[in-house]
Structure 1
Amino acid sequence: MDRPSVVVKQLSAGDRARWDAFVRACPEATFFHLSAWEGIVREVFRHRTFFLFAERAGEIIGVLPLAEVRSRLFGHALTSLPFCVYGGIAGFAEAVAPLEAEAEAIARRLGVQHLELRNVMARHADWPRQDLYVTFRKPIHADDDANMREIPRKQRAMVRKGIANGLASEIDGDVERFFALYADNVHRHGTPALPKAFFARLLKEFGPDCEVLTVTDSAGRPLSSVLSFYFRDEVLPYYAGDAEAARELAANDFKYWELMRRAAARGYRLFDFGRSKVGTGSFSFKKNWGFVPQPLSYEYRLYKRDEVPQNNPLNPKYRAFIALWRRLPRPVANALGPHIVRNLG
């Protein structure tokens, strides 16, 4: 008897529940494969989406979320998935070739310059790859003392400095304090801020799987904040911001300790410190916590370009823009930022 063939389809409203059930059960899938990203990317950032799934005998065996990003400055791409650090195909081996074939067909039909799959692990030795990014993931224990002991000595001293300074952490029900700290932080670094509506949408769509933690000083003033995702047994601090006073009081260090401590108490057993560019300050900060960098294999199919795009702040051609952005008044930067950053993905 012949085995049923694999069919590739696009996500519809009626497929969302079984798509998410597959994602939550699939070992290769990540928080960024959940179906809610389709509406977020399409409605908040106005990118055309193509959430593909492979089906055999009525059962989903693989998923591939994609979005088309058009930008005069940064080019025309089909990506899995903009604004997400992990992507690519998640599923059984039989799903890979049909999903990739459909993705390439869509890419050629759209006339994009390249297809980008943000894989955690390499799939194609012969595809161009970008080795700029790494991720930091580490198991955590149920016991606070065990987690504290695993933090290297110098970094542990910074966490204890934050505790000694009388800092406290609180869970926020909205993104107001987070966004103020985040927008100020990225402006100081010369980067446009994502729109506040995006963060509010994340809280709405993901409910208890998305949370804002804010650190305050002894007078109750907000110093540092982080928006995190929860998926299976993992906690993923994803967006963060700090006031200028945070460094002196070790509020940033205290923030991540508090997130780790709270997550461990709730039964989460893996801390995903997220993506960083090699050689940056955030890369060094995460290594100082005792996390070992793990390369990310972003793979490309190039159609109308000769090399992998370098759409990141380390690219020398963006340095003038970064310097200019830092000089803009923050209200102006916050107003203009969403129109620019939607194409950065």
Structure 2
Amino acid sequence: MYQVSSLALDDKRNAEWDNFVKSSPDGSFFHLAGWQHVLADLGHQGFYLYATAEQEIVGVLPLARVKSRLFGDALVSTPFCVYGGALGSDEVKRHLEQSAITLAAELAVDYLELRYQHPQHNQLTTRIQHATFQCPLAEDDAAILANVKKKQRAVIRQSLNQQLSYTLDSAIDDFYKTYSESVRNLGTPVFSKSYFQTLQTVFGNKTEILTVRKDGKPVSSVLSFYFKDQVLPYYGGGISQARELKSNDFMYYQLMCHARADKGCNSYDFGRSKLESGAYSYKKHWGMVAVDLPYQYQLINASALPNLSPNNPKYQLFIKLWQKLPLGVSQWLGPKISRYLG
């Protein structure tokens, strides 16, 4: 049978773990061992389980515990990430899932959550609240634009006439100011600047920032991840003026073109969105097909599945109040809350 072990932060098998992720069909950027360092910096204990057969890694399951008085106590694969769950053969995945359930019971958490991309054949409870959007990248800029739905294509063409410019680099300050204003306007607590710096340090050239400017002023910015010939625009947004300028549309289109021409990517992952939300509709306008995300749960001490959605009525007053905060206050207070919104 399989031997299950836990990967230490500076484990000598980190590279072997990552090589297994890269070779697994469902292995994602969010399965990489480096996330354990990112989560540790946020104060969350990682339990990066891997299964071996004859000393060779045959399966992995990244997990971390996120515990707070406000949002409960959960063992998640993987916090702050859209994808997770076990990798390996079906038999190995079931073995790792059982190890995770045992661990969750030992830790006495409220529940176990596995963020699978695809349906699994097991006894866990599946709940679908989000969808992911992906598309292939065509061979050149014109073909990429042609693949966008007509209405959104017209918006992109408008953005190209706005005399916008953009840069590609690792500069964090303009990105952070733009992104933090964007999420404040949505009523969402922002991460600390150091969180994004940690992502850059841990993942290096797998990260990149694209910032759009109007007359030299940053108006939209996105931090993207690169993995397996795919680009994932993960943390992005714009200031209030971005809607009028169509600078977010400009940003995502330029990222597609850059990823194809300069990075050799053949796929674009637009990330997850809550079903039937504004972001969900926006991504559909690009012509991408929504694919449901079958996240799975095992209740441990909780009596019901959690509802941490911003659509939950009990969070509406908080969101409205947060939207009114001065930007500096939201940047100071946000990280104290967002670290638990895994």
Answer whether TM exceeds 0.5 for this pair.
yes
Aligned positions of 1:93-108 closer than 5 A: 93-108=90-105
Q: SS where residue 68 of structure 1 aligns?
A: strand
Q: CA deviation at 1:125?
A: 6.0
CA distance in 2, matches of 1:47, 1:260: 33
TM-score, normalised via structure 1 length? 0.96
C-alpha separation in 2, matches of 1:253 and 1:322: 25
2:237 maps to 1:241? yes
Q: What code does the residue aligned with 2:182 have?
A: N
Q: 2:191 aligns with which of 194, 197, 204?
A: 194
Q: Partner of 1:207 in structure 2?
A: 204
CA contact (8 A) 2:128 2:292 kept: yes
What is residue 258 of structure 1 aligned with on the other side? 254
Equivalent residue for 2:75? Answer: 78
323-332 vs 294-303, which deviates more?
Answer: 323-332
| 3-state SS in 1 of match to 2:153 | helix
CA distances 1:144-171 after superposition (whole Å, capped 9, x unpaired)? 2211111111111111111111112211
- Larger mean Cα displacement after TM superposition, 318-327 or 279-288: 318-327
List runs of 5+ in structure 2 lacking aligned partners.
none
Question: What is the DSSP-based 3-state SS (H/G/I as helix, E as strand, rest coil) of the residue aligned with 1:99?
Answer: helix
The residue number in structure 2 matching 1:275 is: 272
After superposition, the C-alpha distances for 1:33-66 in whole angstroms (9 at most, x for unaligned) are: 00000011012x1011100111111111111000
Paired with 1:22 and 1:125, the residues of 2 have a C-alpha distance of 23
Segments of structure 1 that go 5 or more residues without pairing to the other structure are none
User: Alignment length, in residue pairs?
Assistant: 339
Q: Is the 8 A contact 2:242 2:248 kept in 1?
A: yes
| Other-structure match for 1:226 | 222
SS of the residue 2:62 aligns to: strand
Q: 1:35 aligns with which of 33, 36, 39?
A: 33
Give distance in 2, aligned partners of 1:125 and 1:68.
22
Tell me, in whole angstroms, the C-alpha distance in 2 between the residues paired with 1:205 and 1:341: 20
Moved more, 253-262 or 302-311: 302-311
The alignment-based identity, stated in percent, is 44
Instruction: Describe the superposition over 1:154-211 as per-residue Cα deviations: whole angstroms up to 9, x where unpaired.
Output: 1111111111111122113221111101111111111100111111111111111100
Give the superposition deviation at 1:97. 2.3
Partners of 1:92 and 1:299 in 2: CA distance: 18
Q: Which residue pairs with 2:327 in the alignment?
A: 330
CA contact (8 A) 1:140 1:271 kept: yes
124-133 or 269-278, which moves further after superposition?
124-133
User: What's 2:48 paired with?
Assistant: 51
**Distance (Å, rounded) in 1 between the aligned partners of 2:25 and 2:216:** 41
Contact 1:29–1:91 (Cα < 8 Å) also in 2: no
User: In structure 1, the residue corresponding to 2:190 is in which secondary structure?
Assistant: coil
Q: 1:21 aligns with which of 9, 12, 19?
A: 19
Q: By how many angstroms is 1:241 displaced? A: 1.9
Q: Secondary structure at the match of 1:87?
A: coil
1:166 aligns with 2:139: no
Q: Determine if contact 2:190/2:335 at 8 Å carries over to the other structure.
A: yes
1:324 deviates by 1.7
Q: Which amino acid aligns with 1:194?
A: F
Q: TM-score, normalised by structure 2?
A: 0.97
